[in-house]
């Protein structure tokens, strides 16, 4: 379905981003990976994806907190892969503390990577999408873009902001072939969430398996994690003609979290 298209997926060397990149690649899209990690491991991942799906795969080490890096990533993808047709803004970080104890530098860092980076990337990619009258911008928000939890002020603020940005881009492109939507995952068993589970187990002196079930029971009525494959499938759908009139929508995939 996506042969001849190119997708940038930020934060795609692991977790949700990698799952989405794999699903887009399966549909024939060339992929620009982005993220941190061991250089040799990332190069192997790049080669493996290219071989498995018979597509071009690039990699950008762009720091999502820097506007110039983000713009260069889009330029590099255009130069090396031909175009940027699909932009998945997925890169994100987390830190938890009460508002009064939240370090100012962590607030700035989370807002920068989880929100500002999506603005920078969209700003850089939109001109060529509009010139071709086709494009898909998919912002990976969170259930925390729709509801809040304690001790996550920066993350919740950034994800709520990302949904606002999604709506503005959707309105500004409403009469074109470019769409912008958001996906709002609940708990997904990524390295980021696994760290929260491990920290909880250590703090409460309980087995990791029990900490995992407690985490799900607090928020996610299905008591099952959302999978990266499921999120990738939704991203593929948003790239399809069937989703051409979905504009500015925040789609929860959260096991019932935001239905409560």
Q: Where are the beta strands (DSSP E) in the chain?
A: 6-9, 30-34, 57-60, 86-89, 135-140, 178-185, 250-253
Torsion angle of alpha carbons 255, 2, 246, 164, nearest 10°? 70
Percent of the chain having pLDDT more than 90?
Answer: 97
Report pTM: 0.95
Is 155 labeled as catalytic in the residue annotation? yes
Report the C-alpha gap between 141 and 210 in whole angstroms. 27
Higher pLDDT, 190 or 87: 87
**CA quadruple 38, 191, 96, 249: dihedral sign:** positive
Q: What is the mean pLDDT of residues 231-242?
A: 98
> Among residues 59, 155, 225, 257, which one is catalytic?
155
pLDDT digits (tens, 9 = 90+) for 199-217: 999 999 999 999 999 999 9
Report the C-alpha gap between 216 and 75 in whole angstroms. 40
Q: What is the mean pLDDT of residues 34-55?
A: 96
With a cut of 80, say whether residue 182 has pLDDT above it.
yes
| Spatial CB neighbours of 112, under 8 Å, sequence gap ≥ 6 | 64, 65
With a cut of 80, say whether residue 227 has pLDDT above it.
yes
Q: Are 36 and 59 in contact (CB under 8 A)?
A: no
pLDDT given at position 191: 79
pLDDT given at position 159: 98
Sheet strands side by side (includes 178-185) = 57-60, 30-34, 6-9, 86-89, 135-140, 178-185, 250-253
pLDDT given at position 193: 86
Specify the 3-state DSSP secondary structure of 177.
coil
Q: What is the mean pLDDT of residues 219-242?
A: 97
Place of tokens 């699909």: 86
DSSP state of 114: I
Report the C-alpha gap between 122 and 166 in whole angstroms. 10
How distant, in Å, are the alpha carbons of 165, 214, 243 from that of 248? 9, 33, 11
pLDDT digits (tens, 9 = 90+) for 17-44: 999 999 999 999 999 999 999 999 999 9
| Spatial CB neighbours of 122, under 8 Å, sequence gap ≥ 6 | 87, 89, 137, 165, 169, 180
């Amino acid at each position: 379905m996506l042969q001849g298209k190119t997708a940038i997926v930020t934060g795609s060397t692991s977790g949700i981003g990698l799952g989405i990149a794999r699903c887009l690649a399966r549909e024939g899209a060339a992929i620009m990976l982005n993220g941190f990690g061991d250089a040799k491991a990332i190069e192997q991942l790049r080669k493996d994806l290219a071989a498995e799906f018979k597509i071009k795969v690039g990699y950008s080490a762009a720091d999502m907190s820097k506007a110039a890096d983000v713009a260069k990533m889009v330029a590099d993808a255009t130069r090396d892969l031909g175009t940027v047709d699909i932009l998945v803004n997925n890169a994100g970080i987390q830190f938890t503390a009460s508002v009064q104890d939240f370090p100012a530098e962590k607030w700035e860092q989370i807002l920068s990577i989880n929100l500002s980076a999506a603005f920078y990337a969209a700003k850089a990619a939109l001109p060529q999408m509009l010139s071709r009258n086709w494009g898909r911008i998919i912002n990976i928000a969170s259930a925390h873009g729709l509801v809040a939890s304690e001790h996550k002020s920066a993350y919740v603020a950034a994800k709520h902001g990302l949904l606002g940005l999604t709506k503005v881009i959707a309105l500004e492109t409403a009469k074109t072939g470019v769409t912008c939507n958001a996906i709002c995952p609940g708990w997904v068993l990524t390295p980021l969430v696994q760290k929260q589970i491990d920290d909880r187990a250590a703090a409460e002196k309980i087995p990791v398996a029990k900490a995992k079930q407690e985490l799900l029971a607090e928020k996610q009525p299905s008591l099952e994690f959302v999978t990266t494959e499921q999120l990738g499938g939704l991203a593929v759908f948003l790239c399809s003609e069937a989703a051409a009139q979905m504009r500015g929508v925040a789609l929860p995939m959260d096991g019932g979290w935001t239905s409560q």
